[in-house]
Chain A
Amino acid sequence: MKIPFVTSRALTYLWSMALMALMLFGTELCGAQDAHATGEIAAATEAATAEAATAEEAATLDSGDTAWMLTATVLVLFMTIPGLALFYGGMVRSKNILSILMQCFAITGLMAVLWTIYGYSLAFDTSGMEANVLNLHSFIGGLDKFMLSGVTLDSLVGTIPESVFVTFQMTFAIITPALIVGAFAERMKFSALLIFMALWFTVCYVPMVHMVWSGDGALMWDWGVLDFAGGTVVHINAGIAGLVAALVLGKRQGYGTAIMAPHNLTLSMVGAAMLWIGWFGFNAGSALAAGTSAGMAMLVTQICTATAALAWMFAEWIAHGKPSLLGIISGAVAGLVAITPASGTVGPAGALVIGAVAGVVCFLAATKMKHALGYDDSLDVFGVHAVGGIVGAILTGVFAFPSMGGVWEPGEGATIASQVWIQTQSVLFTIVYTGVLSYALLKLVDAMVGLRVTSEQEELGLDLALHNERGYNL
């Protein structure tokens, strides 16, 4: 779980279990079935909780964990610039490549600033939260950490410096809005993009982070949703916003008649490979420690990605007669997306299944469903991120269970059906929440500055029309 308090919770749990086992073992040895046993266990559990609480207060920095999290943070930033920027950039026409690179770069800057000023606080300030109590702070954090107040040289989150945690989470806040760029590529005004992204970050991204990851008292945390690295928070969130944006902005001029083939798939392959590599920071980093959880997250990430890449490739080979590079790299990204919520809880076998399902389902979404429904999601943000995220989020509820090869420890009474229902609820909540709010924000920005470039600018290409430069002066 991606939470600051993972250590204390886990410790409490382990200590209680260990002590209970010892006590039970002891009483059985003595053959004493006295009535005090239950009471003693309860007392021991309380003692253990207190002990764990003391341990948490005295939490110390672990240099191994810190070293890994510094690395993971850099890897996740590497996913957006240059990874995602190149992946998307290669897929647009040559007259629009710079607009994509520019949007990803500008979002990186903008989100870092907003995260610093209020994003981190609204996402992770836990003041006013209480387990299983629904109040305002179930949805949004407080402002106690406004301007990163309280983030000092010595403040820790778990066993790593809070400064590292802030930066790690900042890179997530950067890539999520950047993912949406692909949906309205080649037609959105740059000024409108900046305003929309700032608003979307505030209204959709930050509350989702809070609801899923901030700990006891947060809406979906209390539901018991399993979302290790961001299936709902990052991928479904961005994918749905992308679909809504594609619908609100409308199709590109000439969509369906003009040739809109990717102008440089070499760039896209380089970008996809960077995403694959960077994703180890994203998933294994979400363990917030260099331990067993990170290791398993890394393994299943690799397995799922490879499987999905092949699944998409074979599906395309069957459907269209030839396997394509764009197909195999799209499949890899679909696999990365699908394993994101599942990493940390599923095992290798689950990763194989999730990868195979995600590869085929995302292939069908991007190649068949999109054309059947006729919306112009330029680079398939919905087909890959929302659909892949939903596949991953729901299958997590199946393959997290030890009986299905998972490494999760289900709570008492948890069944596959109950967990799948919880996962489904989180998916539906995310779709409705971000769908409605993204629509409202787009309409607002449209009224403020207009969302689309003029038809003349679109024809000329955004590079020259909006940025006064060209990607290729050959």
Chain B
Amino acid sequence: MKLITAIIKPFKLDDVRQAVADIGIQGITVTEVQGFGRQRGHTEIYRGAEYRVDFVPKTKIELAVDDSMTEQVVEAISNVARTGKIGDGKIFVTDLEQAVRIRTGETGPDAL
């Protein structure tokens, strides 16, 4: 099993949710996050007072998948989340040791 963590532009969330649902993913976890990468932040001006905002708001998606699905999911996410401009985000894939469905006690790929 793999844990896929994707940091994407917030406005792409709906497209990504649809894309992974289309290939059979049953659930994802979404968090609003801030961070910086190569995309620069922005400047806000209030009555002449300039504030440099370095951290850019992003959306973090986490989903656990069976090894066989990994590549397909990564491809689906990167296809729909891409705008071609700096700041589109990153996808991280990590090994996932165990998964448990709390309701039934199922473990491993059955729990996904």
B-binding residues in A (CB < 8 A): 259-262, 320, 322, 324, 326-327, 330, 366-368, 370-371, 380
Q: How far is the CB of A243 from chain B (nearest CB, A)?
A: 16
Interface set, chain B 41-69, CB cutoff 8 A to A: 44-49, 51, 53
Interface CB pairs A-B, < 8 A, 16:
A259-B51, A259-B53, A260-B51, A261-B49, A261-B51, A262-B46, A320-B45, A320-B48, A324-B46, A326-B46, A327-B47, A330-B47, A366-B48, A370-B48, A371-B48, A371-B49
- Interchain CA distance A380-B49 in the complex, whole Å: 12
Please name all residues of chain B whose beta carbon is closer than 8 Å to the beta carbon of A259 when the two chains form the complex. 51, 53
Asked if A367 contacts B47 (CB within 8 A), the reply is yes
**Which of B44, B47, B48 counts the most A-chain CB atoms under 10 A from its CB?**
B47
Please name all residues of chain A whose beta carbon is closer than 8 Å to the beta carbon of B49 when the two chains form the complex. 260-261, 371
For this complex, into which size category does the number of interface residues on chain B fall?
Answer: under 10
Which of A261, A262, A322, A367 sits near B48, CB closer than 8 Å? Answer: A367
Main secondary structure of the interface of A (DSSP, over half): helix
- Interchain CA distance A261-B48 in the complex, whole Å: 11
Q: Which 10 A-B pairs have the closest CB atoms?
A: A367-B48, A259-B51, A366-B47, A320-B45, A367-B47, A261-B46, A261-B51, A326-B46, A371-B48, A262-B46
Q: How far is the CB of A358 from chain B (nearest CB, A)?
A: 15
Please name all residues of chain B whose beta carbon is closer than 8 Å to the beta carbon of A380 when the two chains form the complex. 47
A-binding residues in B (CB < 8 A): 44-49, 51, 53
Please name all residues of chain A whose beta carbon is closer than 8 Å to the beta carbon of B53 when the two chains form the complex. 259
Q: How far is the CB of A147 from chain B (nearest CB, A)?
A: 44
- Interchain CA distance A371-B50 in the complex, whole Å: 11
Q: How far is the CB of B71 from chain A (nearest CB, A)?
A: 40
- Interchain CA distance A261-B47 in the complex, whole Å: 10
Q: How far is the CB of B112 from chain A (nearest CB, A)?
A: 33
Please name all residues of chain A whose beta carbon is closer than 8 Å to the beta carbon of B48 when the two chains form the complex. 320, 366-368, 370-371
- Interchain CA distance A368-B46 in the complex, whole Å: 12
Q: How far is the CB of A329 from chain B (nearest CB, A)?
A: 11
Q: How far is the CB of A241 from chain B (nearest CB, A)?
A: 20
- Interchain CA distance A327-B46 in the complex, whole Å: 8
- Interchain CA distance A326-B44 in the complex, whole Å: 12
Q: How far is the CB of B54 from chain A (nearest CB, A)?
A: 11
Asked if A324 contacts B45 (CB within 8 A), the reply is yes
- Interchain CA distance A326-B47 in the complex, whole Å: 7
- Interchain CA distance A368-B48 in the complex, whole Å: 7
Please name all residues of chain A whose beta carbon is closer than 8 Å to the beta carbon of B45 when the two chains form the complex. 320, 322, 324
Q: How far is the CB of A258 from chain B (nearest CB, A)?
A: 9
Please name all residues of chain B whose beta carbon is closer than 8 Å to the beta carbon of A366 when the two chains form the complex. 47-48
Q: Which residue of A lies closest to B48 (CB)?
A: A367
- Interchain CA distance A259-B49 in the complex, whole Å: 9
- Interchain CA distance A324-B51 in the complex, whole Å: 15
Q: A320-B45, A367-B48 are in contact. List 5 more A-B contacts (CB 8 A).
A: A261-B51, A324-B46, A368-B48, A371-B48, A371-B49
Q: Which residue of A lies closest to B45 (CB)?
A: A320
Q: Which residue of B lies closest to A255 (CB)?
A: B49
Q: Which residue of B lies closest to A324 (CB)?
A: B45
